[in-house]
């Protein structure tokens, strides 16, 4: 398992989570 790949995947997941969190907050 490549640590760099794992970290990239984590960052992508975190960015997606924050994007949807902000998107849902704006929808209210």
Number of domains the chain is built from? 1
CA 4 from chain centre, in angstroms, equals 16
- Report pLDDT for 1: 62
- Report pLDDT for 9: 94
Which residues make Cβ contacts (< 8 Å) with residue 25, sequence separation at least 6? none
Helix (H, G, I), strand (E, B) or coil at 28: coil
Distance CA(23)–CA(21), nearest Å, equals 5
* C-alpha distances in Å from residue 26, one per residue of 8, 10, 18, 21: 27, 24, 12, 9
pLDDT digits (tens, 9 = 90+) for 1-27: 688 888 999 999 999 999 988 877 777
Structural domain for 1, as ranges: 1-27
Retrieve residue 27's tokens.
Answer: 């929808």
């Amino acid at each position: 398992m490549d640590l760099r790949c794992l970290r990239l995947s984590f960052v992508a997941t975190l960015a997606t989570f924050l994007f949807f969190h902000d998107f849902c907050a704006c929808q209210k």
